[in-house]
Chain A
């Protein structure tokens, strides 16, 4: 039988599987067929998992046993920096090219327990550093809406997988916007949870105080189904929050939304027009909209480009070629270490390691790093004040739709500005979601753009609720 993947959601697929309209194998085969047709052109998957048949069999058995849940048998793509034991997880880096995961990430384990079928590892910017997947050591991923354009990044492969119907949902990581920005540029839902909401155990670390794992899905409702399974405390990640905190109902009938008006001047006019249309719809639905000034958001990007490289330079020091990963032989240990890193890392990784080394070096650490941490605290305090009277801060997810390959890759700072609206949520640890808000036209292509809701710390359920409400408008 043929399944319409265009309109399929997790909820619909579950109904079909439960009613016996199609089997897990039939569903998975549909996706594998699309992968076979499109992957050479789009470069979404770096590799497929080697045990798909066994996963399918196990999921089907759960339907026979009556232990199936909404996620049983649902095909999922995994960003290449998330580990599943026995499968290659190379973070799109030459330095980890043949690395096979020796343990399974907590989020993956939780989804495996539900019978989710993992199809493979998706392409990304090397070690999650970038906004276009152009920093992948294995070539960029193409945007399914226009193959001359980037899918966004760093989780570009995971975003494209959902939009190109090469998986029904996927997981990515978001350190400064790496889920929300590609979700916006590929036209699906991308959710970054409160810091500590989801375990990072088994994610290849980039900026540990900022990284969060989160889903890409076709709808806000699907996103909630995934979040319900992956969230919660994990003894393997000491930054995870007490699971009981998610039991409190934080949803409301109508919400109070704040728009940082003075912050939107760099947004492309047609994207801004889409944004204003979305805002009007929310107002018409009874939500209150206030135009405010939030100076804290201005600090987001500069603070990010101090704190993140500092953490990157520490996290990437582990790739010594000795315990895992590829090694370049040398005459002594130091020479081996330097050659391994120099030949294994791409240019962007090197740039950020050096920036981090700079802001942490003697004489500069107080000027940059300590100051950035204080500013992060200032941002938190200012936003906490705002969230006393407002439920969400609303912005476009990105200032522009998907850009063309090469357009920003020669100028790192231009690429960094892509994250202007998304980084602040990572710095202060609050939940944020990108929802599709229509398309704009650019040289003959219809390109999706996204609307971002940033919620109060810990109010992830409210973020999903406003997203669900917006989706219905």
Chain B
């Protein structure tokens, strides 16, 4: 894994790396990928795909909380609000 690949991966992951990370990550990630590559060598043709059919567990569509019960606590964690609304930069 070279520097260019690391920067591409960081872009996909929506991360900016420090100079130090750009230096150290290629070697470190390559080590780990080399190590996990052993998973690709194992024959799994005898495995039944049991795990891939997950079942949804739904709760009744009832009122889980009193309206407004947690409003202030949740609002106070937001970095920017206006009149009880979450405020963000425009998305369109």
Contact = CB atoms under 8 A, between A and B. Distances in A.
B21 A347 contact: yes
How large, as a class, is the contact surface on chain B?
35 or more
Contact of A305 (B32, B42, B57, B74): B32
A336 interface: yes
Interface size class of A (residues with CB under 8 A): 35 or more
Interface string B10-40: 1011111100010001001101110111111
Contact of B32 (A86, A374, A413): A413
Nearest to B25: A351
A371 B28 contact: no
A305 B13 CA distance: 17
Chain A CB within 10 Å — which of B16, B52, B74, B86 has the most? B16
A322 B79 contact: yes
A100 B73 contact: yes
Contacts, number: 145
B78 A376 contact: no
A356 to B, nearest CB: 8
A86 B74 CA distance: 11
B82 interface: no
Interface of A: 85-86, 99-100, 102-103, 235, 238-239, 299, 301-303, 305-306, 313, 317, 321-327, 330, 332-334, 336-339, 341-342, 345, 347, 350-351, 353-359, 361, 367-368, 371-378, 380-381, 411-413, 416
23 contacts: A86-B73, A102-B73, A103-B70, A238-B57, A238-B58, A301-B35, A322-B86, A323-B86, A325-B77, A332-B89, A333-B91, A339-B16, A341-B15, A351-B28, A353-B15, A354-B10, A354-B13, A357-B9, A361-B12, A377-B44, A377-B50, A411-B31, A416-B35
The 4 A-B pairs of least Cβ separation, nearest first, read A238-B57, A374-B44, A324-B77, A342-B16
